[in-house]
Structure 1
Amino acid sequence: MRALILTGGLGTRLRPLTLALPKPVLPVVNRPFLEHQLLDLRRQGVREVLLATGYKPKAFAKAFGNGHRLGLKLRYAHETRPLGTGGAVRQALSFFKGTTLVLNGDVLQRLDLASFRKRHLDVRAEVSIALTRVADPTQFGLVETNGRGLVKRFLEKPSPEEVTCDTINAGAYLIEPSALDLIPPGVLYSIERGLFPELLKRGRRMAGWVSNGYWLDIGTLDKYLQAHVDGLGGAWPLPLAGLRHKGAFLLDHGARLSPRASHEGRGRVLLGPGTTVEAGARFSGSVCLGADVRVAPGAALNDCVVLDGARIGAESRLDRCLVGRNVRIGAGSVVGPGRALGDGSRLTPFSR
């Protein structure tokens, strides 16, 4: 099976972290986010992937190249102006050779592709939509299916009184080439708001398949942090090959951990290549430190992400925050929940 991944978005809700890197290339537990998805596709038998890029396309080629490192054949289709999800799919029409998997590039999920494809073929659908269940359906667009699992209707952000199900679009689709004829070429178009409702209106067969695996849209700063907390907390499988284990600490190549550093509570702490944690540093929850990070004595970090090259000063406090690349946090500073420091930011000592 081939897979097309839609990666053209600007990532505005993840600023300032996406000012220098596109969202799918941002590190999640010290690997480009999209790499987790690509490795999972390879594990399930996908060998050829097309990345539909838009914003900062060179970052994708730098991170993934031709895919050889990941055991995949990677190709790129770049849009010079925004085309939306539908326009990007239409531009890749020649890539569709039979049933093709299409994925949104900002969702971290674990799909059972064999089951998804079996369902798609069993009901002879032109399009199948992977669905996930949510606790509060009013925050999402719902996909309602009948007793045979065929799509009945789409309901965008319903009121509590309108809710009829708890299944939403999970951002993964199996699509037959015949369904793409309805997408106009070269224009801004949405498969979710354009193609899918049009197929339903015309009576074309669309199926819904509920995935029970992990699912998270990482499109906001809060969800980006959650992806790390969930991964280090065991909610989804981390790539642990090559890491040294010291209690709750996971050390990459060249990382140094003082025996007088400590961790308490749930979760784990990941130290990237060349990172140093000094004596008296205290950790709680899940903390991800990128490459070449320095954590000074007495610093306390709880449920946070610190990207490559950052320096965390002595006796500073970081709580449920995001720290960009090459940030300098002065001694005694406090960075609280919900804060996101862009690349190269400087906090003088005792900043609040």
Structure 2
Amino acid sequence: MRKKAVIIAGGLGTRLRPLTYDTPKPIVPIVNQPLIVHQIELLKRHGIVDIILNLHYLPNAIKKILGNGSALGVKLYYSIEKEPLGTAGAVKNAEEFFGDCEVLVVFNGDILYDINISKIIDFHTAKQSQVTLALTSVEDPTPYGLVLTDENGKIKDFLEKPSWNMLEGIDCREINAGVYVLDPKVFSDIPKETHYMFEHHLFPKMLSERAPMYAYKSDSYWIDVGNAVKYYLAHEAILRGEMPVRIFGDRNNMGCWVGKKTEIDKTSKVFCPVVIGEGVKLGKEVILKDYTVVGDNVEIGEGATLERCIIWRGVKIGKHVKLSNCIIGFDCKIEDCCVISGAVLANKTHLTKGSKINV
């Protein structure tokens, strides 16, 4: 069976600003690797190596990092939107790359999901479905799209971002997880270069036409990493082992990963789980507390303490700095004696000596 995938990765990443002002969301680091790399590696593990990336916002930044995909063992194709075309319109825009594809897997670009793609494809094929949606259960479905099915998994209805009043009498809490398996032919009737959504246009149309549409229920780890809170939670899940992704570095028995050419002073203390990237320098009496992730080529000065922080590549942290619950963007500089709690700093932010931020 000839399979290809499309990753819809053209969004502006507004919920992750200021981090995404000049870093498109697909390459926001998750344990020091771009988010989209984790998605590509999942597809590859299930034998899908022809992958189309739909891009719109800062596409060259993404292409510069990923290239043709050979370093990841896949072949990447790029479909660029001049204007946002919606979820289905974005995939339609990539139609020229489908070729002789028989099964198309579509991934939303802002999720981490440990779904068994091989199993959902087998389910899709066995049901002779035209569209199969992966579903995941959540406590609060109101920000998402609720999917109602019969006992055989056939989709009966969609409730897009339902209010709690709409949910009265409905026991279902299973939402569209943002992964689809489709027959490429379903895109033939979608108009070109037109804003067209799966959830508002294509799926309701197919439902009204009684086209075979099924839902595959998965209890695998899933999270939408579109905002800072979910970004933290994704890292914690990875470090707890709930979301299996590749973490670079040597892991010790305590659950700490340390990259190559990293220098840790013998007086420093690391309370696991923690990830420390490559080329990092920890000064004397530095303390790294649980669920902290330190990017490549970061320097942390004497006596600094970091707790539950995510530090991107190239950051310089001065002496006796205290950081807690922070996300620090690429190439920031934080001078001595700063105290920062709960802040998200855009790339290349410079905080002068003794600055205090409490969010």
Normalised by the length of structure 1, the TM-score is: 0.95
- Aligned-pair CA distance for 1:175: 0.8
- Aligned-pair CA distance for 1:167: 0.4
| Cα distance per residue 1:306-345 (max 9 Å; x no partner) | 11111122222211110011111122212212x2101111
Query: Alignment length, in residue pairs?
Result: 349
Tell me the distance in 2 between the aligned counterparts of 1:299 and 1:249.
19
1:258-273 to 2 correspondence within 5 Å?
258-264=265-271, 267-273=272-278
Check the 8 A contact 1:132/1:212 in 2, yes or no: yes
Match of residue 287 from structure 1: 292
| Cα distance per residue 1:134-185 (max 9 Å; x no partner) | 0122332211111110111111232334332010011000111221133221
Check the 8 A contact 1:232/1:238 in 2, yes or no: no
Match of residue 71 from structure 1: 73
Which letter does structure 1 place at the counterpart of 2:134? A
Match of residue 330 from structure 1: 335
Of 229-238 and 170-179, the range deviating more from structure 2: 229-238
Which letter does structure 2 place at the counterpart of 1:341? L
1:206 aligns with 2:225: no
Match of residue 239 from structure 2: 232
| Cα distance per residue 1:208-247 (max 9 Å; x no partner) | 1112211111111221222222212322123245525374
Tell me the distance in 1 between the aligned counterparts of 2:337 and 2:26.
33
Tell me the distance in 2 between the aligned counterparts of 1:221 and 1:178.
37
Match of residue 44 from structure 1: 46
Match of residue 128 from structure 1: 132
Tell me the C-alpha RMSD between the 2 structures.
Answer: 1.6
Tell me the distance in 2 between the aligned counterparts of 1:277 and 1:296.
7
Tell me the distance in 2 between the aligned counterparts of 1:122 and 1:249.
43
1:162 aligns with 2:179: no
Match of residue 11 from structure 1: 13
CA 1:247–1:123 in 2, change beyond 3 Å: closer, same or farther? closer
Q: What are structure 1's unaligned runs of at least 5 residues?
A: none
Normalised by the length of structure 2, the TM-score is: 0.93
Match of residue 139 from structure 1: 143
| Cα distance per residue 1:247-273 (max 9 Å; x no partner) | 443211111112222234xx5221111
Check the 8 A contact 1:182/1:195 in 2, yes or no: no
2:142 alignment partner, SS class: helix
Check the 8 A contact 1:134/1:168 in 2, yes or no: yes
Match of residue 180 from structure 2: 173
Check the 8 A contact 1:269/1:286 in 2, yes or no: yes
Which letter does structure 2 place at the counterpart of 1:74? L
Which letter does structure 1 place at the counterpart of 2:238? G
Which letter does structure 2 place at the counterpart of 1:315? H
| Cα distance per residue 1:175-209 (max 9 Å; x no partner) | 11221133221111111211111111111111011
- Aligned-pair CA distance for 1:279: 1.9
Match of residue 63 from structure 2: 61
